[in-house]
Amino acid sequence: MECKLALSVFRFDAKTDFLPYYKTHYVTVDLNESVQTLLTLIQAQDPSFDFPKDALSALKINQKALFASETLKGVVESMGKELCLEPLSIKRAIKDMIIDTDDFYRNFDRLNAWVDGKDKALYEQYLIYRYASSALDVIEDFQGDALFAFAFDMIQKYPEQKEKILNVIADEKTGIFVRTRLCQKIYPCAGEVERKIAALKNAIMQHRPFYNPLVEKLSRRVDTL
């Protein structure tokens, strides 16, 4: 089914622009196509527009982070026909929807000593969970929900490393207890990741070697999902 969409598209080129701006596009597209197809149609209207084209291509639509592989039908049913397209992080924008993800990959290094390098492929699947978090706006070194979800997976894979992994994410300034819930900031809702993070919080608070004042303060407020 074809549908006409009104788009407000973030534009910025770090090489030439001082400030970002938004450009309006009207695009008719089959809703059975993906968001990636929509980005291609925008580029057809304006060849200077650019976006990531790999398998993990992602962006924000109406302030919700999602992978570009998502089908437009669900997006339009959830958000309407007037859509604002922005990069995952405006602050880290390089060229339109393309951002600098160096911080995302640096975070992998926090657990690198206790996992296999091949596990990075799984970590990459959590890309949008890092940039959806509002905590990242106020805590520059915030570890991020991508790392927390990945940490849960790695504890299942390497249970002998549980203590060391929990010790990393329990950091009271940058770790799991300063994060905010993401269900309203991810499309589709991040219920699975929320459950993993709740389980990690419980594990930290039950594991006495990781006692610290913040954990003790929160120990009676365990997430239940």
Percent of the chain with pLDDT over 70: 92
pLDDT tens digits, one per residue of 194-211? 999 999 999 998 875 544
| pLDDT, greater one: 134 or 47 | 47
> Quick check: 218 pLDDT over 50?
no
Q: Comparing 42-51, 74-83, 175-184, which segment has the lowest mean pLDDT?
A: 175-184
The pTM for the full model equals 0.89
Contact, 81 vs 90, CB < 8 A?
A: no
Instruction: Check pLDDT > 60 for residue 143.
Output: yes
DSSP per-residue string spanning 81-147: SEEEEE-S-GGGEEETTEE--HHHHHHHTTTGGGS-GGGHHHHHTTHHHHHT-THHHH-TT---HHH
Rounded CA gap, 77 and 74, in Å? 5
pLDDT of residue 127: 95
The two tokens of residue 145 are 């929900």
Dist CA 172 CA 32 (whole Å): 44
* C-alpha triplet 151, 153, 157: angle, nearest 5°: 110
Give the chain's length: 225
Domain boundary at 61, 77, 99, which? 99
pLDDT value, residue 214: 52
- Tell me the pLDDT tens digit for each residue of 27-64: 999 999 999 999 999 999 999 999 999 989 999 999 99
pLDDT bracket for residue 212 (50, 70, 90)? low
Number of domains, the chain: 2
What does the mean pLDDT of the chain come to?
A: 91
First-to-last C-alpha distance (Å) of the chain: 37
Does 15 lie in the same domain as 65? yes
CATH of the domain at 174: 1.10.1060.20
Give the pair of three-digit tokens for residue 76. Answer: 């339009």
In the block, tokens 């790999």 appear at: 54
Range of the domain at 112: 102-218
Last residue of a domain, one of 39, 67, 99: 99
How far is 199 from 37, CA to CA, in rounded Å? 37
